[in-house]
Structure 1
Amino acid sequence: MRFSENGIHFLRNPNQRIKIRKASMNIMVKVVGDVLTVVVTLSIFRVTMIWVCKCLNFSSQANSSPSSGNSTGSLIEGFVDSPVSTPRLPEMFGDSDSIVQFRKGFEEASRFLPNHGSLFVDVESDRLFLKELKEEAKDAVEKVVNEFSPDGSRGKKKPHPGDVNLDSGRSNKQSSIYTESTQNGQLKGSTGGKARGNKGKRNVVDLRTLLTLCAQAVATDDRRSANELLKQIRQHSDPTGDGMQRLAHYFVDGLEARLAGSGTQSYNPVVTRPTSAANFLKAYHLFLAACPFKKISDFFSNTTIMHLAENAARLHIIDFGVLYGFQWPCLIQRLSSRLGGPPKLKITGIDLPQPGFRPAERVEETGRRLANYAKTFKVPFEFHAIAQKWDTIAIEDLKIERGEVLVVNCMFRLRNLLDETVVVDSPRNKVLNLVRRLNPDVFILGIVNGSYSAPFFTTRFREALFHYSTLFDMLETNVPREIPERRLIESEIFGWEAMNVIACEGAERIERPETYKQWQVRNTRAGFRQLPLDKAIMKTAKERVETCYHKDFVINEDNGWLLQGWKGRIVYAHSSWVPAS
């Protein structure tokens, strides 16, 4: 009797009732979940067994059929090899018996669900909870049933019209890329940023957009977004991949160095590159074979010099940016076959000093190689090496003599001089004034046609991306990926230049190109007059490009400039000048 009284008192205690209710609900949820799991599993097992039986029945029918080409062939072989077997597949997978069995399993599961709240202590909301639980279970099962309806379609969801091919079912088209970006740098698309197509395909990534977003994050010092984007770009960039993946590999190095504030330490100027002359020569030969840019440049310069020195007894060439002197062996060979014999040739090779105890070592080595080459072709030769900052060179340093034909040649290297955005009396203008005072017979200028020297980083980055995308795309189209010299060109030339553009500022940023129209204005202000473009040179250059190179190379003329480019974008330009007075 005491036990009963205590039990009644226990149940009348509100706190104890709440505890019993919570415990009972937890137990009930677990029991119902376990029962549903078991019954649904049994139902799926039943459906599977029915499907297996039908497969075996189908296999036996196929094997006993008189029209079967191979009576011992397996079911799988019939699916793969026999065109007759394929149309019969929907008969199995679209059978309504499987759905009926699944519904029966759900009904059996429903019997285990209580219809009242007997386990709970007289709480109306508990009965509502059970009712909702049963309805949710029913909705879940109905959703599975609809996913595999008897007509073979997946529920009520209609296939995308662009994904269906009348001949072969679902098409394998690539996903469309949208350049619209989200706050976290993810790309938006019609599928929420995921690439459509077959499972297992790698998602399509717009590296150009990711690089631009990352540059904007770096410019605003948004380190969190920048680091996330850097990680994404790293995952999809590859120095051995396609053109855009290779470009992204080097551009992300520059962004990372700029974000870390180590741009100057990460970049070594052109004069301190560790690449040997032999390796650089291999890359140079590959560049000559892949594109006409350097060949046309040398042809323009050497032909201009040959016309000028047709009857000269002495020829003096001052070469700003001589580097390894690869341009001059061809001219030496042509001079050796000149009617009346070769002139006495003197080349003054000028380049920036190398660090260390022998700043002129590379320039002097270039002179020795050219001297040996000239000796082979019996051309009288003299070489004078200068390794110092170009704006500090005086006229006396160049050893100009009376009676010699004087040529000043500069191919693509004036872009490495600082302009007036850094210092008022810029080295660029100083060198042009020096050339004008030399009063040469011709000043031959080749320039990199670029707009990526703006003081604003985001603008500069975008223009650099356009420029180097053109060069990497050109290599991707014309050079196989596995050739090691291609990586040498991309890493030691284009990659280092991009690193300087992206990571460095002030005097450390020496990659400062201008467009040919800007150089037109600059040279005119410096006191030069432009010579008309030789029509014979233009005609020959155009014929060589059209007959020997890819159709997307551009060769054109504009306002006395010979223009070279790729797919409509001008990359290099050439012109010749003389002092105006």
Structure 2
Amino acid sequence: MRAELKGKTSSISVHNSTILSRPHSSLSGALKGCLGSLDGGCIEKLLLHCASALESHDVTLAQQVMWVLNNVASPVGDPNQRLTCWFLRALISRASRVCPTPTPTPMNFNGSSARIDTRFMSVTELARYVDLIPWYRFGFCAANIAIYKAIQRCPKVHILDFSISHCMQWPTLIDALSKRPQGPPSLRITVPSFRPSVPPLLNISTQQIGLCLSKFANSKNIPFQFNVIDNHNTSIDPSSLSLEEDETLVINCQHWLRYMLNEEEDDFINATKSLNPRIMVVVDEDSDMSDSSLTSRITTCFNYFWIPFDALETFLAKDSAQRLEYEADIGQRIQNIIGLEGKQRVERLESCVKVSERMRNGGYLNVPFCDDVEAELKALLAEQASGWGMKREEDTLVLTWKGHNSVFVTAWVTDELAR
């Protein structure tokens, strides 16, 4: 899909008499036309070949392909090489679980130096992380303006925030509300106690985040409350929300739905609809990695996660610690998507088309974004590398890298409010 772009980034010799002295016949077929120049398209073919070998329990072939991939993988190479490191690690991890006999692990795998450590950031580090590329800020910006417009003359506002980004979007909205011509509303933000254990991770508690927001809101003379509701998964219990009749309800859902099973996602959407919010904003990554087929997930995953790897290449040095840490967080996701199955696989990303279909089936109607949103997003992207762009697909706004969809933003109202 993106081989034509990825192919420009590397030309790696793989002539190695030890590895390929007696290649498996199927391996020879996989390498046909690739020797001497393993570009993105050839790497993708090898990854698929390895996945097929693992699914058919062909340990010998799987190991041979891994050896070839190891000659490409480098944690400090070009985007293809760095991405290959994480796929190689995921495939080795998968092989250790799914093969009927122990799979000999080749020595000195280049991918072995790419470590995944649990990394907890300070608030300052998280702010730098969010600002690195517009992956999060694009959704923050669009959602905040849409919410601001939706609650324009509302004296009391309650935001239910389902997000993995630790409330990082709210200071900007609080500041905007403090300058509202008719005066700021009283604001209540409610967040769930449970959060998927996925990057980015913060070194302070949710309650401490609330205290920070409270201090900021007080400095802006906005009456503010921060509530944490007890929950044990990504679902929602309407009875725990303490909703008040005179407050306007907003639901913010950023990079959240993908951590639910299909039936849980539908239940969540139905539960939010029963609350009749003034607006619900849904932001997520525009790719489909929910397929049960490993080969399908590899193809989608390789072509999608190439985007942040390539974007980071444009402005960070190959050995930049910040770059390596960001890539390691993506690597953790790759390992979950490729290396695990069943309930252990928590990453179940769905495309914008699928998510929108779920929202409509749940009784929501898609609403367009105003021109102000597009203007603000264009200003945001003007500060970024030249490869970032934005497009409108019907009522959806999409962040793109070199023309390829990365993150989508949608706004929804219940069919009752639309009448």
After TM superposition, is the score higher than 0.5? yes
TM-score, normalization: structure 2? Answer: 0.81
1:395 paired residue among 222, 226, 238 = 238
Question: Deviation string for 1:102-133 (max 9, x for gaps)?
Answer: xxxxxxxxxxxxxxxxxxxxxxxxxxxxxxxx
Moved segments of 4+, more than 4 Å:
174-177, 203-206
Deviation, 1:510, is 1.6
Residues 1:285 and 2:128 aligned together: yes
Residues 1:370 and 2:205 aligned together: no
Residues 1:555 and 2:397 aligned together: no
Alignment-mate amino acid for residue 299 of structure 1: C
Aligned residue number for residue 119 of structure 2? 275
Contact 1:350 1:363 in 2 (8 A): no
Q: How does 1:291-306 map to 2 (within 5 A)?
A: 291-306=133-148
Q: 1:194 to 1:252 in 2, by over 3 A?
A: closer
1:429 paired residue among 263, 266, 272 = 266
- Work out the CA distance in 2 between the residues paired with 1:287 and 1:222: 42
1:216 paired residue among 40, 43, 52 = 52
Q: 1:557 to 1:400 in 2, by over 3 A?
A: same
* Comparing 462-471 and 555-564, the one that deviates more: 462-471
2:173 paired residue among 331, 351, 359 = 331
Contact 1:409 1:443 in 2 (8 A): yes
TM-score, normalization: structure 1? Answer: 0.59
Identity %: 25
1:253 paired residue among 54, 64, 89 = 89
- Larger relative CO (CA 8 A, sep 6+): 1 or 2? 2
Aligned residue number for residue 450 of structure 1? 287
Q: 1:393 to 1:175 in 2, by over 3 A?
A: closer
CA RMSD of aligned residues (A): 2.8
Deviation, 1:244, is 1.3
Residues 1:238 and 2:91 aligned together: no
Alignment-mate amino acid for residue 504 of structure 1: L
Q: Which runs of 5+ in 1 are unaligned?
A: 1-173, 196-202, 264-271, 356-360, 420-425
Aligned residue number for residue 32 of structure 2? 188
Q: How does 1:147-226 map to 2 (within 5 A)?
A: 183-184=26-27, 187-189=31-33, 193-194=35-36, 206-226=42-62
Alignment-mate amino acid for residue 388 of structure 1: N
Q: Number of residue pairs matched?
A: 373
SS in 1 for 2:136: helix
Aligned residue number for residue 414 of structure 1? 257
Deviation, 1:378, is 3.0
Aligned residue number for residue 576 of structure 1? 411
Higher strand share: 2
Question: Deviation string for 1:27-53 (max 9, x for gaps)?
Answer: xxxxxxxxxxxxxxxxxxxxxxxxxxx
Deviation, 1:380, is 1.8
Contact 1:176 1:189 in 2 (8 A): no
- Work out the CA distance in 2 between the residues paired with 1:565 and 1:536: 19
Contact 1:452 1:464 in 2 (8 A): yes
SS in 1 for 2:31: coil
Question: Deviation string for 1:21-80 (max 9, x for gaps)?
Answer: xxxxxxxxxxxxxxxxxxxxxxxxxxxxxxxxxxxxxxxxxxxxxxxxxxxxxxxxxxxx
Question: Deviation string for 1:523-555 (max 9, x for gaps)?
Answer: 11111111122122123323542x333332230
Higher helix share: 1
Alignment-mate amino acid for residue 509 of structure 1: R
